[in-house]
Amino acid sequence: MDNYSYALTLKKDIFVVGDLNCNLLKSGPESDALNELCSSLNLFQLIKKPTRVTLQSSSLIDVILTSNTSLVVESGVEETHISDHFLVYSILKLKLPKKLPDYMVIRSFKNYSSEAFKNDLEQLIWQENPIDQGVNQRLDNFNQKFLSVLDMHAPIKTVKIKRRLCPFVDQEIVQLMKKRNALHKLARQTLQALDWDRYRSCRNQIKRKLRESERKFVRSKSGRRIEESKALITSYGLTSTHPEIPHKFSAEIDKFHFHPVSCDVIRKIVCSFPSNKSPGPDKVSVKVIKDALPYILQPLTDIVNCSLRESLFPSAWKLSEVIPLLKEGNHEIAKNNRPISLLLAASKICERVVLEQFTAYVEQKKCLSVHQSGNRKLHSIETLNLFISDKILKSMDDKEVVAVILLDLSKAFDSIDLVLLLKKLQVLGVSDDALCWFKSYLTGRQQVVRIGSTVSETRTLNHGVPQGSILGPMLFNIYINDLPMVPKNGNLKSYVDDSKLLLSFSVNEVNSAAAKLNEDLRRVVSWCSLNSLLINPNKTKLLVFATRYMLKQIPADFHILLLGKKLFPVTSATDLGVTLDSGLTYDEHVTKLVSSCVGSLCQINRARHLFDMKTLILLINALVFSKLYYCSTIWSNSSKKNIAKLQKVQNFAARIVTGTKKFDHITPSLKQLNWLVQQFLDEQN
């Protein structure tokens, strides 16, 4: 019935085919009930002849039901010898559905000129706003001027998404393709060897020209992007190091207060943003802001400082646009899509200012729990995984077992109670003025959903921190800051919303360990309930780490209880990008890693003729070696068998870069690239 209701919702034609095991040739309670059901559902039965015939009887139990008989050209029954049921069939009159065009709303940069845009901005009078003018009025005045100029140079348009033409196929190649097609047609008609030779010659000529044209196009693009990045860094005086945060605050300052920022701070923040991020509802990208920065820097700085001074986050910056990104399956089913929230680029500048000041206060006061590794200086996923793996290995050396529960919080960021979050900020020492700013930032937020050019009505958000925001992860850290203190027996470690509960015990204490884990889980579940969070028992995993000998001594029925569901140990699970197994061998992790790296290398290999050696190395570092480096300190002491697998990945990469043949010795290529072999690295570790 769910599928039937879903089809009705989408106004789809319905066909039901199968053996209902109800004889429709005879009148009776069952057949009458089935006929009444079909009538109530507006379904028509197409089969009228018996579908199962024996020496004693004949019956019609195989049916084809439809909601639209106008589609049916013919239907009937065919005898077969492969079953005692006859074949039922229906011939339908169907038209190939015409795909509706897709539209999207964008800023058209077709006639955009950066210099012309800057010249028009320079003509505007960016006079100072009156002191008594509020931040909302300041922002409205700024948007009115800035967007009026931007709309002239890059107007917002609704465009049809068309199939992109190949940018490196010029008219000469197009004419050759037409000639090739004509020669192919002639060769098929005459079947003469000479005509086939002419066709092949033209085809090969096109292939050579395509490869050469594509190579020139790709290299010109990649070279220009690299030079643009270098020029951007040089023009704004940026370096690869971060500014040093002061270690001490004045002794008189007990609470967190905002302080005004200079234009130089705003400039560095804007230049640190990547230019390729999607714009928010106003369609103003970071790239446009960077182009206009020399002329709008002072007004932006004034708006940010006014926001901090008035403890008010501008209302115009509270709107977000949600777009669905397909994960898998049918795009029309909501759960198959991942919602992506797009915020206004200008609002993120103010968020970054607040984050930098608040982070400095939190680090100086040591407000965050030592068990939280997310968004903390000198902490990362790798340091957390190092701590856990070290604890597990130490317990194995002490002949102990370690139980790890990987907790899954359902929609954690969206479930935050804003009133409770503000109370926790107050406890941390946030002043009343700063607390008012956070309250203004968190409340009154609105969002719309955009699919193509269609926009939903605006809805107000009453819970959670803004998705896709800069402040969101830090505020979530504050919200769950007291969670690690909840367990009584084990240790709870977190990386933002990924938490895990650890408990070490001897093999002889399995029953008491299960009781302790259950007690800690009850306490964690109770804390989550009080804080409006929910643990998903279907995605929470239990892992038991021990030596092979000790694992055999653990009872097969060992389990824990979470919200009434029994959780039994799994042999492996992925946590923060690393696949853990019960023996901590990392065999499964390395296998998955090698498969992913080889897949990426194969894609690069197919297009390697487009790139020079320098670009190939950049590609491999970005798309392949970055995967190998991820948490490599955790699994680098793996078995020689796993190290050999990783060495093959490095060898394959070296062959792609240097063009070394399959059966040629790879060591000279590795030396040429100055790449240390994995075996040497393993010995050094």
Domain extent listing, the chain: 1-92, 171-214, 374-417+482-581, 587-673
Of 38-47, 295-304, 513-522, the least confident: 38-47
- Going through 327-438 in order, the beta strands assigned E by DSSP cover 337-343, 401-407
> How high is the pLDDT of residue 267?
94
Domain 1-92 is classified in which CATH homologous superfamily?
Endonuclease/exonuclease/phosphatase (3.60.10.10)
3-state secondary structure of 491: strand
> How high is the pLDDT of residue 95?
80
> How high is the pLDDT of residue 319?
93
> How high is the pLDDT of residue 247?
36
The mean pLDDT of 65-78, rounded to a whole number, is 90
Which band of pLDDT confidence, cut at 50, 70 and 90, is reported for residue 433?
very high
- Would you say the C-alpha torsion 317, 321, 322, 324 has a positive or negative sign? negative
Residue 12 identity:
K
Portion of the chain with pLDDT greater than 70, in percent: 92
Q: What's the full length of the chain, in residues?
A: 685
pTM above 0.85, yes or no: no
> How high is the pLDDT of residue 289?
93
The mean pLDDT of 354-377, rounded to a whole number, is 90
- Tens digits of residue pLDDT in 242-273: 333 233 333 334 789 999 999 999 999 999 99
Phi-psi group of 660: left, alpha or beta (phi > 0 → left; psi -120 to 50 → alpha; rest → beta): beta
What mean pLDDT is reported for the chain?
A: 86
> How high is the pLDDT of residue 237?
43
> How high is the pLDDT of residue 164?
65
Which residues lie across from 403 on neighbouring strands? 503, 544
Q: What is the rounded distance in angstroms from the CA atom of residue 431 to the CA atom of residue 425?
A: 9
The mean pLDDT of 146-153, rounded to a whole number, is 90
Which band of pLDDT confidence, cut at 50, 70 and 90, is reported for residue 214?
confident
- Asked whether residue 463 carries a pLDDT value surpassing 90, the answer given is no
The mean pLDDT of 498-505, rounded to a whole number, is 92
Nearest alpha carbon to residue 288 among 104, 118, 105: 118
Q: Structure tokens of 161? A: 């998404």
> How high is the pLDDT of residue 242?
36
Nearest alpha carbon to residue 654 among 676, 669, 643: 669
Nearest alpha carbon to residue 121 among 237, 289, 283, 236: 289
Q: What is the rounded distance in angstroms from the CA atom of residue 429 to the CA atom of residue 367?
A: 9
- For 97, other C-beta atoms within 10 Å of its C-beta total 6
Biggest alpha carbon–alpha carbon distance for the chain: 102
- Asked whether residue 231 carries a pLDDT value surpassing 50, the answer given is no
Portion of the chain with pLDDT greater than 90, in percent: 48
Question: Is-contact 488 525, C-beta < 8 A?
Answer: no
The continuous run of DSSP H or E covering 543 comes out as strand 541-545
Q: What is the rounded distance in angstroms from the CA atom of residue 504 to the CA atom of residue 221?
A: 55
Which band of pLDDT confidence, cut at 50, 70 and 90, is reported for residue 345?
very high
Q: What is the rounded distance in angstroms from the CA atom of residue 363 to the CA atom of residue 387?
A: 21
DSSP structure string for 207-219 = HHHHHHHHHHHHH
- Tens digits of residue pLDDT in 270-312: 999 998 888 989 999 999 999 999 999 999 999 999 999 999 9
> How high is the pLDDT of residue 293?
92
- Asked whether residue 330 carries a pLDDT value surpassing 80, the answer given is no
Question: Is-contact 41 12, C-beta < 8 A?
Answer: no
Q: What is the rounded distance in angstroms from the CA atom of residue 517 to the CA atom of residue 619?
A: 46
Residue 204 identity:
N
> How high is the pLDDT of residue 226?
52
- Asked whether residue 68 carries a pLDDT value surpassing 70, the answer given is yes
Helical axes 613-620 vs 640-658, angle rounded to 10° = 150
> How high is the pLDDT of residue 223?
60
The continuous run of DSSP H or E covering 224 comes out as helix 193-235
Structure-derived torsion over alpha carbons of residues 123, 129, 135, 138, reported in degrees to the nearest 10:
-30
- Asked whether residue 327 carries a pLDDT value surpassing 60, the answer given is yes
Which band of pLDDT confidence, cut at 50, 70 and 90, is reported for residue 513?
very high
- Tens digits of residue pLDDT in 103-135: 888 888 888 888 999 888 888 876 666 667 889
The mean pLDDT of 548-562, rounded to a whole number, is 90
The CATH number of domain 374-417+482-581, selected from 3.30.70, 1.25.40, 3.40.50, 1.10.260? 3.30.70
CB under 8 Å, gap of 24 or more: what pairs does 48-54 form?
49/76, 49/77, 50/25, 50/77, 50/86, 51/77, 51/85, 51/86, 51/88, 52/84, 52/85, 52/86, 53/86, 54/84
